[in-house]
A and B are shown apart, each in its own frame.
Chain A
């Protein structure tokens, strides 16, 4: 048992975690006839809390509430995995780490660079860009694109929808520009 737990705690290769992540698609279909997707949760939260008479938010969000329970599960599962099932080592490309060191980022074993994404620096220009602006773009963009990596790149592509391929290519295009041009500019601030 102890050996098994040790094995679980080590980082998993992509060919173990990838296929398992893909199984979320049939699991949700089989247990509830639900299409896998996460970004809709933010739409439901808007509809539930601040609909403001906007027609986009006037629908029966309660009939979609399974999505919010799923999201609560993600939070809980991440807590369990991080607290008890991880040895907190991630093998990042040394080239990247060398470059990030120039920006003062040295601890890559957290899920976010804690030197820049933290409460203390939230109100600095860098903090606002990384946290507030970044988050806004994720929310605005996923809704405008009618889905995120889950709904389009995994669910949509699995169902062979060409429009999800268009969306996925757009995500990647935005990401390439951002990671190579915008993110370094923000980190230099």
Chain B
């Protein structure tokens, strides 16, 4: 199990380096973005989406296969109203903590050990969603 997953550790490692170097995990950068005080975060997200978009188009156009020669398939998420309600709730938390889930791991890695508590609390939030799911509007 470990051996077959080393490649994902490596991909994560690269992503972790990039989001620290891109300052995406900085609480201050997140405040700037939501106060329209800097183009930095918009530039990062915009150019990341552009690269991702071009990559996916190339993969589809040329039917590029995985390293194991499988056909690449992307299953779109199924829309429900939670995308809006949950999205707003997450956005509020994003500005408070200065982190979305990826950066939570990265903030801990960059030495802000107290963010372990933020992470545990986020896991608790995930659990409470699972518990309340049948009663929430979707």
Residues from chain B with a CB closer than 8 A to the CB of A169 are 87
- Residue-wise, chain B 10-22 has the 8 Å CB interface mask toward A (1 for contact) of 1111111111111
Q: Does A5 count as interface, using CB distance less than 8 angstroms?
A: no
- Residue-wise, chain B 84-99 has the 8 Å CB interface mask toward A (1 for contact) of 1111111111111111
- Residue-wise, chain B 38-79 has the 8 Å CB interface mask toward A (1 for contact) of 111101111111111101101100001011001011111111
Q: Does B135 count as interface, using CB distance less than 8 angstroms?
A: no
Size class of the contact patch on chain A = 35 or more
Q: Are A18 and B45 in contact (CB-based, < 8 A)?
A: yes
A179 nearest in chain B by CB position: B34
Residues from chain B with a CB closer than 8 A to the CB of A79 are 16, 109-111
| Interface SS of chain A | helix
Q: Are A17 and B44 in contact (CB-based, < 8 A)?
A: yes
Residues from chain B with a CB closer than 8 A to the CB of A54 are 127, 130-131, 133
Q: Are A171 and B14 in contact (CB-based, < 8 A)?
A: no
Q: Are B21 and A170 in contact (CB-based, < 8 A)?
A: no
Q: Does A124 count as interface, using CB distance less than 8 angstroms?
A: no
Q: Which A residues are closer than 8 A to B by beta carbons?
A: 8, 11-12, 14-15, 17-36, 38-39, 41-43, 45-46, 50, 52, 54, 56-57, 65-67, 69-82, 85-86, 90, 92-93, 95-96, 100, 108, 110-114, 117-119, 122, 129-161, 163-164, 166-180, 182-183, 186
Q: A111-B26, A175-B30 provided; 15 other pairs, C-beta below 8 A?
A: A14-B40, A17-B24, A22-B51, A24-B18, A38-B100, A82-B20, A85-B17, A113-B27, A134-B93, A135-B122, A136-B121, A149-B94, A156-B77, A174-B88, A178-B95
Would you list 26 pairs from A and B whose C-beta atoms are within 8 A, ordered by A residue?
A18-B48, A21-B18, A24-B14, A29-B59, A29-B74, A31-B7, A42-B122, A46-B127, A54-B127, A56-B133, A65-B5, A70-B8, A111-B98, A111-B107, A112-B27, A112-B98, A137-B92, A140-B128, A147-B77, A149-B94, A153-B45, A159-B53, A164-B77, A166-B79, A174-B93, A178-B96
- Across chains A and B, which 10 residue pairs bring their CB atoms closest together, nearest first? A73-B12, A174-B91, A77-B16, A144-B86, A170-B87, A141-B90, A139-B125, A137-B93, A22-B51, A78-B109
